[in-house]
Structure 1
Amino acid sequence: MKLQLALDLVDIAGAKAIVAEVAEFIDIVEIGTPVVINEGLHAVKAIKDAFPALTVLADLKIMDAGGYEVMKAVEAGAGIVTVLGVSDDSTIRGAVEEAKKTGAEILVDLINVKDLKARAAEVDALGVDYICVHSGYDHQAEGKNSFEDLRAIKSVVTKAKTAIAGGIKLSTLPEVIAANPDLVIVGGGITGEADQKAAAAEMKRLVSQA
């Protein structure tokens, strides 16, 4: 089980500062969609250059032109790129084909997918590397989480690894771990803590024991 740090509300300098604090405890660092919107793929390159040992995920939430957008993200240093599960199968196929040329990976985000089990099975057949259940920011404000969603997709996904994102904190991490994802994605549960290093260290300890 791997731990991914999601960075959303920072600039490049802020991202570097946070990663420097917690790099030893995370496996993947995510350049979140807000950062990409504000800073562009320069943010991906800056973090990869500064922390070459870490895998960098570019959360582009691709909806179209999968092959091209994956190509540009990989050129910037991304090892994993996200595509939306609600996008067309052809978009996902294009993303997968492009990623395979370079050894990069594709994570499909099932945010706002209505029939999770059905779409997870379809996406699994397209050869993606990760399938992620995700309670987005707006969902979290309504008190939703993705723990049951994770259990649902794990019942149908047979090839891809599974991931979970959205509002995960130290207090809820044991419940997440019990659902046995391959990748746990944490944002504010680390970045919002007064001692980010301690929070990341404890999360890594719990995830590593699973």
Structure 2
Amino acid sequence: MKLQLAIDLEDVDGAIELIEKTKDSVDVFEYGTPLVINFGLEGLKKIRERFPDITLLADVKIMDVAGYEVEQAINYGADIVTILAAAEDQSIKDAVAKAHEHGKELLVDMIGIQDVEKRAKELDEMGADYIATHTGYDLQALGQTPLENFNKIKATVQQTKTAVAGGIKEDSAPTIISQQPDLLIVGGAISTDDNPAEKAKVFKDMIDNA
């Protein structure tokens, strides 16, 4: 199981500072959608140049022109690229093919999907590297968590790795970790802490000791 840090609320320099503080505990660093919107892929390139050896995920949430957009994200430094599960099947197949052509990985984000078991089975057959359960910020505010949908996906897939995201905190993490996702995605619980290096180590230790 790997720990992914979702970096959403920083500028690029702030993201670099956060990576510097947490890189000893974090396996995957996510260049979050707000960073993509505010600073484009040039910000991702700047981070890659500063940290040539870290694993970078670009949360571009692709919906169309998938092969091209995956390739662009990879060209700017991404190791893992995200596409929405709501995209057309052909877009997802194109995205998988392009990522694998470059030796990189594709993560499919299930946000907004209602029949998660059906879609997870389809994505598994398409060769996605990860399927991510994602309780979005707006639903987190209503008290929803990613665990129920994650368990449905975990029970459905045969070959695709699983990821889980959505308001994961220190107190809720042990329950989720016990369900053995391949990728635990944590955001604000680390990035907004007064000591993000220490907090990242807390989550990493939870994973290592599970």
The answer to whether the superposition gives a TM-score over 0.5 is: yes
Q: What's the % identity of the aligned pairs?
A: 46
Deviations 1:129-186 (A, max 9, x none): 0000000110111111101111110111111100000100111110110111000000
**Mapped partners of 1:105, 1:126: distance in 2:** 13
RMSD: 0.7
**Mapped partners of 2:100, 2:199: distance in 1:** 34
The corresponding residue for 2:116 is: 116
Give runs of aligned pairs for residues 86-101 of structure 1, distance below 5 A.
86-101=86-101
Give runs of aligned pairs for residues 8-23 of structure 1, distance below 5 A.
8-23=8-23
Give runs of aligned pairs for residues 55-70 of structure 1, distance below 5 A.
55-70=55-70
The corresponding residue for 1:5 is: 5
**Mapped partners of 2:62, 2:139: distance in 1:** 20
Give runs of aligned pairs for residues 47-58 of structure 1, distance below 5 A.
47-58=47-58
Deviation at 1:59, TM superposition (A): 0.2
**Mapped partners of 1:193, 1:105: distance in 2:** 30
Question: Match of 2:112, SS?
Answer: coil
The corresponding residue for 1:107 is: 107
- Give the TM-score normalised by the residue count of structure 2: 0.98
Is 1:38 the equivalent of 2:38? Answer: yes
Is 1:175 the equivalent of 2:202? Answer: no
Q: Name structure 1 gaps, 5 residues minimum.
A: none
**Mapped partners of 1:146, 1:195: distance in 2:** 26
2:118 is matched by which residue type in structure 1? A
The corresponding residue for 1:184 is: 184
2:151 is matched by which residue type in structure 1? R
- Size of the aligned set, in residue pairs, is 210
**Mapped partners of 2:189, 2:53: distance in 1:** 23
The corresponding residue for 2:204 is: 204
**Mapped partners of 2:194, 2:70: distance in 1:** 35
The corresponding residue for 1:164 is: 164
Is 1:79 the equivalent of 2:79? Answer: yes
- Give the TM-score normalised by the residue count of structure 1: 0.98
**Mapped partners of 2:86, 2:62: distance in 1:** 10
Give runs of aligned pairs for residues 150-161 of structure 1, distance below 5 A.
150-161=150-161
